[in-house]
Amino acid sequence: MKSPDEEVFFWLETYRPADEAAVRKEHNGYFAGQGVTMAGDPQISRFEEGSLKVQATDLPATWQGKPTVLRYLAIDAGLPDGRMVLLSYWASPEGDRRHAAAFKAIVNSLGSPK
């Protein structure tokens, strides 16, 4: 999915925890193919958002020589089969700020199944 101004791109994928490294490798390959260059060590944080347990991995990166926002959210949404949700997020710094509230609402909508 993307924002109407094409400043934010993200997608969701479910995975088994044992497959997390392979899934991230696939996503990293996509970003490399788009010309995104990793520019430092990942910053990892953990938090809870409503009923979700989230591990956020922020990857310092550049695109076309300028800073870009690259983030993975590994989300435990309480799915019955134990699967996790990986939300991959790529944005311009401006788009990240402009669409922060809408993106937070999307994440919050991923709460545990009833």
What sections of 1-114 are H helices per DSSP?
A: 20-33, 93-98, 100-108
Token digits for 71?
């983030």
pLDDT at 113: 53
Indicate the DSSP class of residue 81: T
**pLDDT of 89-99, one tens digit each?**
999 999 999 99
Give the single-character DSSP code of 64: T
pTM of the model: 0.86
